[in-house]
């Protein structure tokens, strides 16, 4: 299999007892870094959550289904919010785009410091087009994001999972490698399979290390699961994608109410500039535009 950018594969292992998703998100995380002008540690935090959302997005079925993950700890990163659709088209933002580099003793970036797991929560919202979205929330147990997501799946979804996420920053601040995988054990998974899986997962190198060695998303799963027997069922690509438009921004502006819109027109201003949170595209809403909105 060639190494396509943002390659995402899914499949099953151990005769269907394990479901897996694996992604090389290098390109989409780099795109997020550029769009938001992120510092290295801010890139790692947002990049891990974007990778997680792209993997989890594969569980959505409907074309209009949307999954939102909100990571809110008490560290300097602030709120980190990402969304994915069923095609793993993701977008997101982090409050603090300029986190200083703080490293752990082992030299890795200190993501847990940035997130601050104390009194923090991971909220996952699945909007499946029903009357109410499905909302699940669990406390943060590590702040490293992968462990927090695995805990969410275990507690909120009753699905034992293994999650690995990684973002490696190059010396120039760009994204060298990013990726992750998720394994989900189905309810019928035998003790035998669980016992066989544990040492494989426990001794598995970090995803970014393997990407650097030239393994692609499919080969990662081969390396991890070939002893259990595995099959790739879907091969696709994730992407960073924002669907904002001037019309959408106008609709958002309308929610401030007629009186406030009128006051913008009355004050001798050139209108307003709105910036998309997800991609930083700037939209100029002129006084004429606002006048039309008031008429409507």
Binding part of the chain for Zn ion, among 56-64, 80-88, 98-106, 239-247 by CB under 5 A, reads: 239-247
Q: Which of 9, 253, 276, 285 binds Zn ion (CB under 5 A)?
A: 276
Count of residues in contact with Zn ion, rule CB under 5 A? 6
Q: Which of 162, 45, 175 is nearest to 110 (CA)?
A: 45
CB of 32 to Zn ion, least distance (A): 12
**Position 283 contacts Zn ion (CB under 5 A):** no
Of 211 and 285, which CB lies nearer to Zn ion in the complex structure? 285
Of 110 and 289, which CB lies nearer to Zn ion in the complex structure? 289
**Position 77 contacts Zn ion (CB under 5 A):** no
Of 114 and 279, which CB lies nearer to Zn ion in the complex structure? 279
**Position 279 contacts Zn ion (CB under 5 A):** yes
CB of 254 to Zn ion, least distance (A): 18
**Position 244 contacts Zn ion (CB under 5 A):** yes
Q: Which of 20, 21, 278, 283 binds Zn ion (CB under 5 A)?
A: 278
Of 46 and 140, which CB lies nearer to Zn ion in the complex structure? 46
Q: Which of 228, 232, 242, 272 binds Zn ion (CB under 5 A)?
A: 242
CB of 276 to Zn ion, least distance (A): 3
Of 38 and 149, which CB lies nearer to Zn ion in the complex structure? 38
CB of 92 to Zn ion, least distance (A): 11
**Position 32 contacts Zn ion (CB under 5 A):** no
Interacting residues of 12 by C-beta distance below 8 A, sequence separation 6+: 18, 19, 20, 230, 231, 233
Binding part of the chain for Zn ion, among 58-66, 95-103, 151-159, 238-246 by CB under 5 A, reads: 238-246
Footprint of Zn ion on this chain (CB under 5 A)? 242, 244, 276, 278-279, 281
């Amino acid at each position: 299999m060639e190494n396509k950018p943002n390659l995402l594969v899914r499949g099953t292992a151990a005769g269907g007892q394990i479901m897996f998703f694996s992604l090389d998100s290098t390109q989409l995380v780099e795109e997020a870094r550029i769009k938001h002008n992120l510092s290295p540690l801010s890139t790692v935090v947002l990049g891990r959550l974007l990778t997680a959302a792209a993997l989890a997005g594969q569980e959505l079925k409907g074309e209009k289904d949307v999954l939102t993950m909100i990571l809110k700890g008490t560290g300097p990163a602030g709120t980190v919010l990402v969304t994915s659709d069923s095609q793993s088209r993701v977008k997101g933002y982090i409050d603090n785009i300029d986190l200083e580099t703080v490293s752990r003793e082992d030299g890795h970036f200190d993501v847990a410091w940035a997130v601050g797991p104390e009194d923090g929560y991971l909220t996952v919202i699945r909007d499946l087009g029903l009357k109410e979205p499905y909302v699940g929330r669990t406390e943060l147990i590590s702040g490293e994001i992968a462990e927090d997501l695995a805990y969410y799946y275990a507690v909120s979804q009753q699905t034992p999972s293994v999650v690995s996420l990684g973002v490696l920053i190059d010396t120039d601040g760009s994204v060298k490698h990013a990726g992750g995988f998720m394994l989900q054990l189905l309810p019928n998974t035998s003790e035998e399979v669980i016992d066989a899986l544990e040492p494989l997962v426990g001794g598995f190198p970090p995803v970014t290390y393997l990407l650097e060695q030239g393994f692609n998303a499919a080969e990662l799963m081969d390396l991890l699961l070939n002893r259990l027997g595995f099959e790739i069922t879907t091969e696709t690509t994730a992407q960073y994608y924002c669907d904002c438009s001037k019309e959408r921004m106008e609709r958002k502006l309308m929610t401030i109410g007629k009186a406030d819109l009128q006051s913008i027109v009355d004050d001798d201003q050139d209108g307003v500039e709105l910036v998309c949170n997800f991609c930083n595209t700037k939209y100029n809403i002129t006084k004429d535009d606002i006048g039309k909105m008031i008429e409507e």
